[in-house]
Amino acid sequence: MPNVYLDKRVEPSLHQRTAAAWLWSGREAVVAGLAASALHGAKWIDNDVPVELIWHNARSPNGVVTRDQLLLENEIQRLDGLAVTSPERTAFDIGRRGRLDDAVARLDALAQATDFKVSAVEELVSRHRHTRGLRQLEAVLDLVDAGAESPKETWLRLLAIRAGYPRPRTQIPVLSPDGRRWYYLDMGWEDLLLALEYDGDHHRTSRERFAYEIERAEDLHMLGWTVVKAATRHRTATVLQRFQRAWDACTH
């Protein structure tokens, strides 16, 4: 950033780039968008995303996006010494932009990190009625679920909803048959004892984890649960076909 320096041997993190952008503004700007979401603790944000600032200066350096927008006093807070949009205002901004599915995944992550209330974001809509993207924001807020623990889980949940299935509950707690362990299912329908889970690579990171997954699967089967798993290489149509077979078996 102009007049903001870092040792050239250091690869700056998103947090460092955000602080640098804020310093470049003369400490006048407010950090917003994905950079603000990351400061609030949201996961799954790439290190190289542009740093968004709400500020009047349109001539921003590379890697910084400035927006001259109305901010009310209660939409700003301090984090790590930086002026940052509140979780609700951050959700308001992110939910209006980009692809709808991406916006849902971003807000799922922010909701998990901050537990922001959808009703509080909806209140912001009434204060900024002439802002672009409010129709998409309304659709995104209707789909937000803080129980999603990865963008892929968000994708899987939206896939089921759009295929016409009832909205699943996320992070369903299940006690093992011996009463010693709690398992948490990604999403499912408790009345049917049917679960849908995304099987990421982290499930195979160690022998201990692999053994745990086997024991977990056996315990859930013993309790009567049917678990349909989706993985990276599964085609969408194949996932839906497999899930439909499981749904039919559980409802007949």
* CATH code assigned to 151-251: 3.40.960
pLDDT value at position 66? 97
> From CA 187, how far away is CA 171, in angstroms rounded?
6
pLDDT at 207: 84
Question: Measuring CA to CA, which residue among 180, 192, 207, 167 is closest to residue 247?
Answer: 192
What pLDDT, on a 0 to 100 scale, did the predictor assign at position 200?
Answer: 78
Return the pLDDT at 208: 87
Instruction: Spell out the residues 6+ positions from residue 199 whose beta carbon is closer than 8 angstroms to its own.
Output: 229, 230, 231
Q: What are the boundaries of each domain within the chain?
A: 14-143, 151-251
Looking at the chain, list the stretches that DSSP marks H as alpha helix, in order from N- to C-terminal side: 14-24, 33-39, 87-94, 100-114, 118-127, 134-143, 151-162, 207-222, 236-251
**95-115 confidence digits (pLDDT tens):** 999 999 999 999 999 999 999
- CB-count exposure of residue 166 (10 Å: 0-12, 13-18, 19+): exposed
Given this model, what pLDDT does residue 41 score? 98
pLDDT at 224: 98
Residue 139 CB neighbours (<10 A): 12
Residue 191 DSSP one-character state: T
For each of the chain's 252 residues, which pLDDT tens digit applies?
888 999 989 999 999 999 999 999 999 999 999 999 999 999 999 999 999 999 999 899 999 999 999 999 899 999 999 999 999 999 999 999 999 999 999 999 999 999 999 999 999 999 999 999 999 999 999 999 999 999 999 999 999 999 999 999 999 999 999 999 999 999 999 999 999 999 976 556 678 888 999 999 999 999 999 999 999 889 999 999 999 999 999 999
pLDDT value of residue 232: 85
Phi, psi at residue 77, to the nearest 5°?
A: -145, 175
pTM: 0.93
pLDDT in tens, 118-166: 999 999 999 999 999 999 999 999 999 999 999 999 999 999 999 999 9
